[in-house]
Structure formats: structure tokens, C-alpha cells
Amino acid sequence: MNLKLKVWRQKNAKAKGGFEIYNISNISPDTSFLEMLDILNEQLINEGKEPVAFDHDCREGICGMCSLFINGRAHGPDDDVTTCQLHMRKFKDGETVTIEPWRSAAFPVIKDLVVEREAFEKIQQAGGYVSVNTGGVPDGNAIAIPKEDADEAMDAAACIGCGACVATCKNSSAMLFVAAKVSQFAKLPQGKPEAARRAKAMVAKMDELGFGGCTNTGACEAECPKGISISHIARLNREYLVAKLKD
Amino acid sequence: MSKFITSSIGKKVVMSLSGLFLMTFLMVHLTVNCFLFAGAEAFNTAAHFMVTNPIIKVVEPILALGFVVHIAWSIWITIQNMMARPVRYNKTNQGKNSSFASRNMFVLGGLVLTFLALHIANFYVKIKFTHEIGAVSYAGVEMHDTYTLVTSLFTIWWYDVIYVIGAILLGYHLSHGFWSAFQTIGFSNQIWRKRLTVIGYIFALVIAGGFAIIPTYFYFVQ
Ligand code: HEM
Ligand code: SF4
Ligand code: FES
């Protein structure tokens, strides 16, 4: 395959940045998107140019490190996959591929396609955990949990914190991420004691960090590589309302 | 509480509750309008009942407040949401992941508001302030001839076009707004989401269709 790549280049957080056009040829349709960028970078290095910086780690869709807004969509044209799991067969030969970093006030660009997603960590630190006293590992079946509740919690826990929901939302809202992190505990007995505090603290942190508000467009759910449902956002709204009413 | 109203979720709850309130108003409004099909006496009597009813006297300022709050919060939310993405994307493909109405609630609402201004000038101002309205009496009770005011306006074709467009815009606003209002207050899950979406589409269709049929009908029968 031959492709024309339109890539966002930006020296550092302060620099202005702009698009560069690169032509790349002889790409196998079975190459993954990030491998294609590796090939581009090799080409750039051989030409004595600065390679394109982009985030990645596991390259198997589980770590949430890769990002990229490809042809107008977070994680590219394929559904329910991360950019590292996207393959070039999803593109047409000769196509122009526009590659941009996540765009959000809360996710500033550090370099080229790399953005700072520390805001998610701060939200997590505000309450996305269960406080436990360490000790012996509790017996596996000591706390009985209904299957449906366990399944709901597990679905929410699938969130890998990639930020595609924020990137794709027209309001840069982090509601799907926060909803997933609240929801993974909300239905479990271990999570319930801190439920009210958790919802309030995480929402307050999210608001403070400059994310927009949710207008229920559902774009996040459509682009989330883990298919997290916006029903979890309804649960977060409920948890938050109940917590605030009890204040 | 003050922190709640200014939090992202709290602001949305204000939008949702004011939106739900405005939707109940629309249902009452459309019901009264349907009396137009039953003739002058039926409609005038229904309209007279509405303006003289003490409950309506109380509800009217609340309704005005409902609109003001809904609009004020919508402006606030929209500005904040735009500020959350200072650098725009070069290329977006939102048609792939969300509905047109959900992405354009502010534009649709703004257009509905423009229509609303004309609508108030057409009827409310004439009835309440400039008194450009005749009188009729049925069984000794004197009342405004609202029927003639309405039906004579609808003989003008371009008013009919504007009213039909207004109804369609409102329908679009509600096609997303109805379900969204329930989602915002937490009343949704995997099952109810499907149900509320369907009910929302039916509601939007009834409201848009109902308000669109009235001017069309009176244009063609007169
Ligand atoms: C009869 C008139 C109206 C009705 C029945 C109505 C109803 C609704 C409902 C039910 C919602 C959903 C609330 C939610 O998402 O939680 C909504 C949202 C919205 N409305 Fe209205 N509305 C009306 C007029 C207006 C006007 C005049 C404007 C303003 C200019 C407006 C602007 C908005 C905006 C921007 C939203 C989206 C807010 C968000 O999703 O966060 N609406 N409306
Ligand atoms: S909710 Fe989905 S899109 Fe958002 S951070 Fe988690 S995995 Fe990524
Ligand atoms: S690199 Fe780990 S999910 Fe893509």
C-alpha cells in the first residue's frame, strides 16, 4: 500500500506545531498502524530527520497507552480496538491519513502526537480505589456477589484509561472514564462503604481539571476501545445525586 | 447545594429538570390546541378556561422561569464545553458516532427560541398587551375570540411554513432531549435506555406532528 500521511508535528508543549505531509510506500495491509509509524520513523531517521513521537507500550490493546485521532476518529476507523490493534487493511491504497493528537484542555500536547494524560491519574487518586487494611488474602468465596453485579462491575473495570472518550467527545468530557471507575466499585460490597465519597471526590476533581460536561451524545461509547456503556454514566449521575442529597 | 448547582453534573440536572418541566408544558399546550379542530366555541372555551384558571396563574411565571433557567444554563454549559477544547481537530467524523440532534442541541434550542419570540408576538402580546383580539360570548360568558385570532393567522402561507419549521426544530430538540433528560437524572440503564429512546422518538414525533398539523390544516380548510 502507498499512503500519504498528514501528521501533527510539535516540538514541545510551548511550540505552535503544524501538519507535515509524508509519503510512505510498500506497506503491507497486515501491518499494524503503529508498525506503519515505526516504518515511517525509520525512514525519517535515515533521512536525518526527527522521528514522530507517539505513545505506545503493550501493543496488545490492554495498557491504554496508545492514542491518536486518525481520520477524525479516536483510535482510527476500526470499532472496539485501540490504535495498536488497528491494521492497515482498514485503509485504502493511496488514501490520505490525517493523524492528530488527542485534543482537550485537560490533555495538553507534550510533543508531536504525545499528550499528557496525568489528569486521569489525578481523578483516580481523588477516590478511584477501595481502602483496605492489608492482611491475609481473604477467602475467595467469603463475600458472595450476585453474578449480574459481578458482570456489571467487570464490564466497567475493562476501562484501560486511554482517554479516547475525552478525545472524541465534542465537550472533551471525562464522564465515561469517571463513570467506569465509579461503576466498577458501586455494585460490589467492597466498594459500597466509600461510594458516596468516591463519586463526589472524583467528579469534583474532574470538574477542577477542565474537562467539559456530558451532553449524552454517546460518542464516547461508540469510540471506546473497550465498549464501555454510557449506562455507567447514568449510574454515576445517580450515585452523585444520591451522595449530594445526603449531604 | 451551591456546589451541586455549579458542578458539571448539577448543571446538567438543572437542564434536565427544566427540560422535563417544559415538556409537560408542551403536552398541555398541544392538548388545548387540539380543541381548535372541534370548532370556535370549544377552543375559545378551553382557552378561556386556561387563562382564568387560578392554577395557570401560578404556573405561568414558573413557566417563564423554567425557560429562563433552561436557556441561561444552556449558554453557560455550552461556553464551558467549548472552552474544554481550545484547539480544534483538523478532521472530525462525528456522524459516525453520534446523532445530529445530540451534537446540535444549542443551535436547535436557539432556533426554537427565535420561533418562540415570533410566536409570543403573534398571540400572547396581542391578547395580553395590545388587545388586538375580538370578543365572543357563549351562554352569557364573555371571552376572547382566540379562535379567530389563530385561524386567521394561519391563512397566511408563510406563517404556516414558519410554524411547521418551528415544530420540526422542536421535534429534533426533543428527539435527543427526552431520553437525555432521564439519563441525566440517572433514570436509565441498559434496558430503560432502549425504552426511553423509543418513547422519546414517539414523543418528539407527536409534538412536532401535532404542532405542524394545526397550521397546515387551517391553511387548507379555510
Ligand atoms: C419548549 C421548549 C424546550 C423544551 C421542551 C426543551 C427540552 C429540553 C430537554 C428535555 C433537554 C434535555 C436535558 C438533558 O440533556 O438533561 C434539553 C436540552 C437542551 N436544551 Fe432545551 N428545551 C426547550 C427549549 C430550549 C431553548 C429555547 C434553548 C436555548 C437556546 C434550549 C437549549 C438546550 C440545550 C443547549 C440543551 C442541551 C444541554 C445538555 O445536553 O447539556 N432548549 N432541552
Ligand atoms: S472509558 Fe473507554 S475510551 Fe474512556 S478511557 Fe476508558 S477505555 Fe478509554
Ligand atoms: S499500546 Fe497498550 S493498548 Fe495500545
Cβ-defined contact of A170 to B81 (cutoff 8 Å): yes
- Are residue A126 and residue A95 in the same domain, yes or no? no
Question: Residue A54 and residue A115: Cα distance in Å, rounded?
Answer: 9
Q: What is the pLDDT of residue B144?
A: 95
Extended strands (E) in chain A: 3-9, 18-24, 69-70, 73-74, 96-100, 109-111, 114-115
DSSP state of B121: I
The rounded mean pLDDT for chain B is 96
What percentage of chain A exceeds 70 in pLDDT? 100
- Are residue A74 and residue A150 in the same domain, yes or no? no
User: H helices then E strands: how many in chain B?
Assistant: 10, 2
A20 touches B: beta carbon within 8 Å = no
| Among candidate residues A202, A190, A208, A212, the one with its CA nearest the CA of residue A235 | A202
- Are residue A198 and residue A177 in the same domain, yes or no? yes
- Are residue A45 and residue A98 in the same domain, yes or no? yes
pLDDT value at B160 more than 80: yes
Domain ranges within chain B, ordered by starting residue: 2-84+98-220
Question: Residue B3 and residue A242: Cα distance in Å, rounded?
Answer: 14
pLDDT value at B55 more than 90: yes
pLDDT band, very low/low/confident/very high, at B163 (cuts 50, 70, 90): very high
* Contact list, A247 vs chain B (CB under 8 Å): 1
- Are residue A124 and residue A204 in the same domain, yes or no? yes
Q: Which residue has the cell 444549542?
A: B106
pLDDT band, very low/low/confident/very high, at B3 (cuts 50, 70, 90): confident
Question: Residue B213 and residue B5: Cα distance in Å, rounded?
Answer: 39
> A9: which strand partners?
A18
- Are residue A216 and residue A177 in the same domain, yes or no? yes
Task: Looking at the complex, report in whole angstroms how far the Cα of residue A146 sits from the nearest Cα belonging to chain B.
Answer: 18
Choose one of A85, A110, A135: the last residue of a domain. A110
> How, if at all, do strands A3-9 and A96-100 pair?
parallel
The rounded mean pLDDT for chain A is 96
Q: Which residue has the cell 485537560?
A: A106
Question: Residue A36 and residue A25: Cα distance in Å, rounded?
Answer: 10
**Distance of alpha carbon B175 from its chain centroid, rounded?**
12
Cα pseudo-dihedral A2, A40, A34, A95, rounded to 10: -30
Cβ-defined contact of B103 to A204 (cutoff 8 Å): no
- Are residue A85 and residue A149 in the same domain, yes or no? no
Cβ-based burial of B57 (10 A; exposed 0-12, middle 13-18, buried ≥19): exposed
Contacts of A120 (CB under 8 A, 6+ apart): A161, A163, A174, A177
Task: Looking at the complex, report in whole angstroms how far the Cα of residue A63 sits from the nearest Cα belonging to chain B.
Answer: 24
Question: Residue B73 and residue B11: Cα distance in Å, rounded?
Answer: 7
CATH (domain of A215): 1.10.1060.10
Choose one of A56, A78, A110: the last residue of a domain. A110
Q: What is the pLDDT of residue A135?
A: 80
Cell, residue A144: 458472595
Which ligand 3 atom is nearest residue A58's CA? 2
CATH (domain of A17): 3.10.20.30
Question: Residue A230 and residue B183: Cα distance in Å, rounded?
Answer: 9
Q: Minimum-distance ligand to the CA of B176?
A: 1
Question: Residue A4 and residue A20: Cα distance in Å, rounded?
Answer: 10
- Are residue A172 and residue A92 in the same domain, yes or no? no
- Are residue A216 and residue A96 in the same domain, yes or no? no
Instruction: Please indicate whether residue B176, judged by its CB atom, sits closer than 6 Å to ligand 1.
Output: no
- B2-84+98-220 CATH pick, 1.20.1300, 1.10.10, 3.40.50, 1.10.443: 1.20.1300
Over residues B30-58, mean pLDDT: 95
3-state secondary structure of A96: strand
> A115: which strand partners?
A109
Question: Residue B48 and residue B56: Cα distance in Å, rounded?
Answer: 11
> What is the residue type of B120?
I
pLDDT band, very low/low/confident/very high, at B39 (cuts 50, 70, 90): very high
pLDDT in tens, B72-82: 999 999 999 99
- What stretch of H or E contains B142? strand B141-144
- Count how many Cα atoms sit within 13 Å of the Cα of residue B88 in the half-sphere of its side chain: 5
- Are residue A209 and residue A94 in the same domain, yes or no? no
- Count how many Cα atoms sit within 13 Å of the Cα of residue B150 in the half-sphere of its side chain: 23
- Are residue A106 and residue A10 in the same domain, yes or no? yes
Over residues B48-54, mean pLDDT: 93
| Among candidate residues A207, A242, A209, the one with its CA nearest the CA of residue A106 | A209
- Are residue A94 and residue A122 in the same domain, yes or no? no
> What is the residue type of A242?
V
> What is the residue type of B3?
K
Domain residues for the domain of A40 are 3-110
Q: Which residues of chain A have pLDDT under 70?
A: none
Choose one of A66, A82, A110: the last residue of a domain. A110
pLDDT value at B2 more than 70: no
Which ligand 1 atom is nearest residue B178's CA? 10
- Count how many Cα atoms sit within 13 Å of the Cα of residue B121 in the half-sphere of its side chain: 7
> How, if at all, do strands A3-9 and A18-24 pair?
antiparallel
pLDDT value at B1 more than 70: no
Q: What is the pLDDT of residue B150?
A: 96
Task: Looking at the complex, report in whole angstroms how far the Cα of residue B7 sits from the nearest Cα belonging to chain A.
Answer: 7
Cβ-defined contact of B190 to A231 (cutoff 8 Å): yes
Number of domains making up chain A: 2
Which contacts of B214-217 are long-range, i.e. CB under 8 A and separated by 24 or more positions? B214/B33, B214/B36, B214/B154, B214/B163, B215/B154, B215/B159, B215/B160, B215/B163, B215/B164, B216/B160, B216/B164, B217/B37
Q: Minimum-distance ligand to the CA of A219?
A: 2
Cβ-defined contact of A206 to B88 (cutoff 8 Å): no
Its ipTM equals 0.93
| Among candidate residues A80, A95, A96, the one with its CA nearest the CA of residue A19 | A96
Q: What is the pLDDT of residue A134?
A: 75
3-state secondary structure of A74: strand
Cβ–Cβ under 8 Å, residues A165 and A220: yes
For residue A223, what is the nearest residue in chain B, using CA coordinates?
Answer: B97
